[in-house]
Amino acid sequence: MAEIKDPENTIILETTKGKVVIQLLPEVAPEHVARIKELAREKAYDGVVFHRVINDFMAQTGDVKFGKKGGESFNPGRAGMGGSEKPDLKAEFSAISHVRGTCSMARSQSPNSANSQFFICFTDSPWLNKQYSVWGQVIEGMDNIDNIKKGEPVADPDSIVSMRVAADV
């Protein structure tokens, strides 16, 4: 397992394809990191599907409203259209590049519309730089992200089994 230097700023993501360890970047996007940790601690991400997975680009998840299997509002046809009941976040764009393993917040056309959805880059995606709020970097388990079922939408999608802050495990 990857060495976890800062358990309070590390996420352990169990997916249907295996474990992924993400180093959080609170110095880059403090409000986005706080939101990810808050939702992880509420177990909001548990059961959420990877609803949009584009080969050679990214895997998107985090719709805790419509994308949570077993949730009261679960709707595979609407997965990707919802968020949490928390307010949207103000953009925290940075000079951090979107490279393989970058974790960044999804949003609508409005820069200040990120809420709970996020994506993990399969490959370097420089056109996203300074357009999306980067909050983490995969430090272990990228091979498991690579194996997530692809599609837009995904038929019988993979999902997050659990998402925890390492300090809580």
pLDDT at 99: 98
Which DSSP letter does residue 66 get?
T
Distance of CA 56 to the CA centre of its chain: 17
CA dist., res. 53 & res. 73, Å (int) = 21
CA dist., res. 131 & res. 122, Å (int) = 17
Whether the full predicted model's pTM is greater than 0.95, yes or no, is: yes
Which DSSP letter does residue 31 get?
H
Separate counts of helices (H) and strands (E) for the chain: 2, 8
Per-residue pLDDT of the chain (169 residues; tens, 9 = 90+): 678 999 999 999 999 999 999 999 999 999 999 999 999 999 999 999 999 999 999 999 999 999 999 889 999 999 999 999 999 999 999 999 999 999 999 999 999 999 999 999 999 999 999 999 999 999 999 999 999 999 999 999 999 999 999 999 9
Tokens 């993990």 found at: 120
Q: From start to end of the chain, where are the E strands? A: 10-15, 18-24, 52-54, 58-61, 102-105, 118-121, 134-140, 160-165
